[in-house]
Amino acid sequence: MASDAHAHPYDLLRRDEAAETLRRSLRTACAASAWHEKEFLYHEELSREAVRDGAPLLVPCFGVHPQLAAESADACAASLAFLAGLVRENRLGAVGEIGMDLYGGRYRATEKEQERLFDAQLELALEGKLPVVLHLRRATDRAFARSGILARLPAVIFHSFSGTLREALSLSDRGIRAYFSFGAPIALNHKKAREACAGIPLDQLLVETDAPYQAFGGPNFSSGRDYSDWSDLPLVIAEAARLRSADSAVVEAATDINFRRAYGIGG
Ligand SMILES: [Zn+2]
């Protein structure tokens, strides 16, 4: 069974009303990231319904996204307070996505605020003994700077990992229980992502759709959609398998086991 390490079902719903039906029919478990309260409550409801119906799991995650710092200080404060409540009420599968986005002037202007939010949320994850899902754009160094606290968390999921293979290996060397998740970019010309996906140990590999935000395009795949959904996940798995000269079924099985280990499900 394929498992999606990172998606946004609430946002996908606006592109496809039947998205949850699709997920169930494909038997795809997924981690659902939210950064606004109403998104999270929707995911939490889907998660309860999935358990009730014996459908593939949907793991509700919440974090103050680093891009929110560029929108409003009030929204960040409200989301951070909401997150603290969720941690204390034990309602989360993971804290995230959190991290740093230093791509472009608009985001770089909020660097200090992003640092503050990132650190506050790592503390909350530690308090709740929760895994984190990291969004790091032009900011892999910021994970190295925090390797002490990251190594104390049960798991650290690098969503849409954009660092080098060498960086991935040295993050693991620092005692971080790191997982590296790859999506549509490995099917395009993202050389670093392709090399990292090819070389990291199989037990640290994850796959994701980031649905609806990473549409397949380019020369290898054409989904005919300008958004991603769960039917793209087998394409990601096939590409990861090709890069690793492995069998798709092996990558599918391994990434499913890794998904469960990373998010602390079962066993
Ligand atoms: Zn995302």
| Gap from CA of 8 to ligand 1 centroid (Å) | 6
Among 213, 201, 176, 194, residue whose Cα is nearest residue 251:
201
Q: Residues 97-152: pLDDT tens digits?
A: 999 999 999 999 999 999 999 999 999 999 999 999 999 999 999 999 999 999 99
Residue 220 has which token pair? 């290898």
| Gap from CA of 161 to ligand 1 centroid (Å) | 12
C-alpha torsion angle, residues 17, 22, 23, 24 (rounded to 10): 110
Among 140, 156, 142, residue whose Cα is nearest residue 112:
142
Q: Residues 196-245: pLDDT tens digits?
A: 999 999 999 999 999 999 987 655 556 678 899 999 999 999 999 999 99
- Buried residues in 61-76 as b, exposed as e (16+ CB within 10 A): bbbbbbbbbbeeeeeb
Q: Which CATH number fits domain 3-262: 3.60.21.10, 3.20.20.140, 3.20.20.70, 1.20.1300.10?
A: 3.20.20.140
| Gap from CA of 9 to ligand 1 centroid (Å) | 10
Q: Residues 44-100: pLDDT tens digits?
A: 999 999 999 999 999 999 999 999 999 999 999 999 999 999 999 999 999 999 999
| Gap from CA of 183 to ligand 1 centroid (Å) | 11
CA angle 48, 52, 54 (to 5 degrees): 115
Q: What is the 8-class DSSP label of residue 163?
A: S
- State the pTM of this model: 0.96
